[in-house]
Structure 1
Amino acid sequence: MASKIKLMVAAVDFGTTFSSWAFSFKHEFEKDPTKVHTKNWNSGQSISHKAPTTALIRSDGMTLEAFGYEAEDKYASLVAEETHKVWYYFQRFKMSLFENKTLNRQTEIEDVNGKKLTALRVFSLVIEYLKNNLVDECKMKITNGEFDESNIHWVLTVPAIWDDKAKQFMREAAIQAGIGKQQVMIALEPEAASLFCRHIPLQVMSSEVVPLDAGTRYIVIDAGGGTVDITIHEIMEDGNIKELNKATGGAWGGQEVDEAFKQFLIQIFGNGVFQKFKSNAVEDYFTLFREFEVKKRKITPNGKDKVVIIIPAKLKELFESETGEAFNKCISRSEFASQVELTKGNKLRLDSSVMKGFFEKATESVVEHVKTFHDSDKYDINVALMVGGFSESSMLVSAVRDACSSWKVVVPNEAGLVVLKGAVIFGHNPTPITYRVSRHTYGYRNSQPFIEGTHANEHMVVYDGEKFCRNIFSLFLQEGDLVYDGQIFVDRKPFWPTSEGDTFGIEIYASNDKNVQYTTENSCTYLGLLTVDKLDADVPIEERMAYVTIKVTNSELQMEATDPNTGRFIKTSIDFLQESA
């Protein structure tokens, strides 16, 4: 964290489906922490607080041409002109960080046409765009053109279920985007939501106010477009927040509803027709799904009105040319024949049951997971706090309320902005998150004198005539442990270089097995390398060593080292993005 006073804190919420930025000045935060400025994006059909996480990159692979709605529109024009194939077009690519367990700096992601760029470049270009967009608006609307970017402290939000590799990846992407290393920090999305909601009156339905007073235990359900993050928090006597269980969740976000709608269209028109429509009539495709985005936000569990979806003329043309059938046949031959009708003007009228069905998979996955906490008496939860864009859907909220009837389910106004605004508050004052629960068991690779009958023979090696056991998992933090911010796990432990030189590395591993013994076990994942640099070269090799300290700061592992021969601090770094151990 930057040591200088934060005159302004800006947050970037890099979402799976939608992204945006927000900020507040120090004097605004001190008067009212909830006074946070957010961006308005124009889709051409409506004004939104977020834009699609969509990037159009020039053929050089280095230059971002457009982002968000503008990227969608420009790409559609390129397709219409048949000049799109040399461009890179990425959408909904954030999930690659969640899904890729071997993430590194060389990891590549594919655009919609199968062309590849390194994920680090794509993410850094988008962060750079959002950074510059915020700065430009500040210059234009607030400071009359005079604005010093060094006064901004930046916060990037990440899901709590992300691992250390993904966190470091986002930090490095921000640095590549032109944000100073000391100006950026990471905020876990459910924690940011908690901080924001501490400052606003929370209401159940529209009447009962639910105060988050000391002793209150509540579950945070952060339902975004890609992932759903679930954590349990308790308000402590000093007003700070304590995490009670490790973050859990999965890929059950709002994009599952979009996928269900897509499968519905494939059922109606056929996969071949749909794929040609998606590839050849991109502008119409975007328009169709933007319309669906508006319609799906209005669906309620008790709603009985039919929903009208306008079918683009190009889709009709493709259906008739590809199948040789009249357009009205697309309904009669599908499994939805009794629930969907085609009206004049190429409009589909869907029974409410069909629209509600699009939500089933996502809501069932969320409810099944959340209900395990509701049905357990372990945590004594009183309140469920639902945030994130998907929490603005009454279909999801009602499903949680019905399944978890003993909870007071709270959905703040503009739930999709709660994490973003909370991240700004976190940047001004990160101290309220006092305790967190470790999601994994952590250790480092070590060697010890071999003990017959205790150590496995396959790990035995002989050095200078003595037997050693290598690949020992030396535990320093166990899954489920309660960790306070700044806690030290390894305190000035001596390490020696394994070969001649003034630099050496310590391999860090993680496991979900509390009883792991060796770093080669299937449950173990190599996280990265702790590098200790520039030991005193004048000291004989056999005397060179370093005292290493491992601690946690703001949910991230931090390392320090000292040279006992000189007493000086040694440069250290931990690299979670190495390609291999």
Structure 2
Amino acid sequence: MVLWGLSRPKQSHNYPKVPTCNLYGPGSKDILEWGYPAKIAMTKPPFKNHILLSKYKLHLDESSGPHPPLPNGLTVVDAISDYLRVFHAHVLQSALRGFGSAFEQRHIQYCLSVPAMWTDHAKSMMRQAALQAGMITPLDPPHRLLLISEPEAAALYCEKKCDQYQIGHGQRFMICDAGGGTVDLIVFEVNAGPQGRTLREVTRGSGHSCGSVFLDERMEALLRRKFSKWTERGLTPANWVQIMETFIHNVKPLFDGIDDQYITMPAVPGRAELTDYEIGLEDGVLTVTAEEMRREVFDPVVDDVLRLIQHQLQQTQFNCQGIFLVGGFGCSSYLMTRVQAEFSHIVRLIAVPPRAELAVVRGAALAGITPRTVAARVARRWYGVDSLMIFEPGYDMPHKQVRDHEGLTRARDRFSVYVAPGQQVGVDECITKRYITYQYPKPVNSPLYACSSMAIPRYIDSPMVEKIGDFTIPLPYIPGALPGHKVVFELRMYFGATEIRAEAEVNGMVVSTRCHFSG
């Protein structure tokens, strides 16, 4: 079931998305409002001591460093699950209106988009939040909830426009998904075959927390500097909300880098005259020059986006025929101007597709309908498991030397590589390795490790190696086998999907494995 045309709760303008905002009472973990009603509530006196929680999704970006704890004892999974729960209730209510008695919740397949830069642990936390929100149950089959990277979802949407933009077989296009919190990029190559058109990743996806909320932060910092001398009776929290709403909805999307910007001030308690020539305020209208807006607000963030695009082009050796800017920030006139100025001599097509702000959500729906459009993806890190390998004097550290059950000299803690960074892996491609265990009949715990280093890690405790999960492999009954019996098994890994999955073959029998991702 595809739900594209949902009404937006209590929305006062035409922007087709709802902000990720949760409203909580003082010291409470119970969500009171969400989206626009949550933001509006903060402008009213009864809610002055309440907590408006936003931008908490950024807490799952482990590359941006430690984040301060959320208020009221909430965890990031709590905040996300609260939002998903109330949003999901709205979805169900809308679906019931549209489908009536023919509708059942089990008919819905969910597809959640996640930033390409997120780790496997962050994706696991998103799935956990969906479970906690009641969208799915632990007994549901895996396909009830699909996770898809945001640039890939946007690519599925833009793939429908390839003919319009004359991007054909063997040609490449970049998705620059510039959203609220993150900017994610991947380059795809088009393959037009007899079964239709498919896409394959040709670069390692990259991203950074440099979305449009950072424009908001820089704008608020600029305004607070301007109004810093209004100390006696300054702007109220409601004033700040109104001013920032004006910037977010009227100034930010239309700023072209050329025209000065004008912000109408709300009524400020204790100030009948709203004029202060020193800061550009005259008769209640604040003027921010284009030069100041570029320098203080836009350029520091846009420069980060340009660096990300440059990095992707370098990975393709500048063999890329198009750049699609999507997402809310992707619709920015100024961002488009800067990207064209920087890259139009290298890339023939730089475009913002129709309804670019909806590219990810519509592409995510397409992923559920046509799940095989993306045929291959590129690994971003080393992935491997713990293994005993032949001890190599001069290469292996002496304290790693052990003897195995057969008396052979081995090196313990070796990193057995499944996938290397930059390696292209098919969606259904199975990578298999054979291992031996003497733990029968106990289940085998096979930790999964990842590493972001340039060079191949030798050991699982080498620098930059982290354990990201544990695959539990149940051993089937083997007639006549005693405890400690030697068991040879194959561990099969699938890395081509957004989430890693695995299975094992033990004594000729295929058994499923459970993966518990580490914190």
Matching residue of 2:75: 118
Q: Which residue of 1 aligns with 2:298?
A: 359
Contact 1:38–1:49 (8 Å) recurs in 2:
no
Q: Counterpart of 2:447?
A: 507
Residue 338 of structure 2: which of 396, 399, 409 is its match? Answer: 399
Change (3 A) 1:466 1:277: farther
Q: Could you say which residue in structure 2 is the equivalent of 1:260?
A: 218
Is the 8 Å Cα contact of residues 509 and 519 (structure 1) preserved in structure 2? yes
Per mean C-alpha deviation after superposition, the further-off stretch among 348-357 and 475-484 is 348-357
The answer to whether the 8 A contact 1:233-1:242 is kept is yes
User: Quick check: 1:223–1:386 contact (8 Å CA) kept in 2?
Assistant: yes
In the superposition, the TM-score normalised over structure 1's length comes to 0.79
Match of 1:287 in 2: 242
> What is aligned with 1:574?
515
Question: Could you tell me which of 456, 463, 472 is aligned with 1:531?
Answer: 472
Distance of 2:493 and 2:253 partners within structure 1: 50
Contact 1:292 1:309 survives alignment (8 Å): no
Give the aligned partner of residue 555 of structure 1: 498
Task: Map Cα deviations across residues 358-410 of structure 1 (whole Å, 9 max, x no partner).
Answer: 21111111113323455787241111111111011100011000100132111
Shift of 1:440: 0.6
Taking structure 2 as the reference length, what is the TM-score of the superposition? Answer: 0.88
Work out the CA distance in 2 between the residues paired with 1:441 and 1:376. 18
Report the secondary structure of 1:436's partner residue: strand
Describe the shift of the 1:95–1:306 C-alpha distance in structure 2 as closer, same or farther (beyond 3 A): closer
State yes or no: 1:349 paired with 2:287: yes
Say whether 1:72 aligns with 2:39: yes
How far off its partner does 1:58 sit? 5.5
Match in the other structure for 1:137:
94
1:187 paired residue number: 148
Change beyond 3 A, Cα 1:517–1:428? same
Alignment of 1:289-328 (within 5 A): 289-301=244-256, 303-314=258-269
What is the aligned partner in structure 1 of residue 133 from structure 2?
177
Within the candidate set 437, 458, 473, 1:496 is matched to 437
Where 1:469 maps in the other structure, the secondary structure is strand
Cα 1:102–1:542 shift into 2, 3 Å: farther
Q: Distance in 2 between matches of 1:271 and 1:135?
A: 50
In 1, Cα distance between equivalents of 2:162 and 2:467: 44
Q: Which of 225, 229, 236 is the matching residue for 2:180? A: 225
What's the C-alpha RMSD, in Å, of the aligned pairs? 3.1
Distance in 1, matches of 2:229 and 2:380, equals: 41
1:437-448 mapped onto 2 (5 Å cutoff): 437-448=378-389
Q: Are the aligned partners of 2:325 and 2:351 in contact in 1 as well (CA < 8 Å)?
A: yes
1:192 deviation in Å? 1.2
Aligned residues: 504
CA shift digits 1:283-313 (9 cap, x unpaired): 3322221111122235343643442341551
1:62-106 alpha-carbon deviations (Å, 9 max, x no partner): 5432111112233444x645553xxx5421111111136999xxx
The 2-side partners of 1:298 and 1:423 are apart by 24
Structure 1 residue 174: Cα displacement: 1.4
Structure 1 gap segments, 5+ residues each: 1-7, 10-22, 24-35, 203-208, 321-325, 333-339
| 2:440–2:475 Cα contact (<8 Å) kept | no
String of CA shifts for 1:536-559, please: whole Å, max 9, x gaps. 387322226343211235232111
For residues 218 and 47 of structure 2, the distance between their equivalents in structure 1, rounded to whole angstroms, comes to: 30
Q: Distance in 2 between matches of 1:152 and 1:49?
A: 22
Distance 1:547 1:201, change over 3 A: closer
Match of 1:477 in 2: 419
Code of the residue aligned with 2:445 in structure 1: it is G
Opposite residue 488 of structure 1, the aligned amino acid is C
Would the alpha carbon gap of residues 273 and 507 (structure 1) be closer, same or farther in structure 2, given more than 3 Å must change? farther
Contact 1:301 1:356 in 2 (8 A): no
Provide the residue aligned with 1:335 in structure 2.
Answer: none
Q: Please say which of residues 219-228 and 542-551 is displaced more in the overlay.
A: 542-551
Is the contact between residue 185 and residue 312 of structure 2 (CA under 8 Å) also seen in structure 1?
no
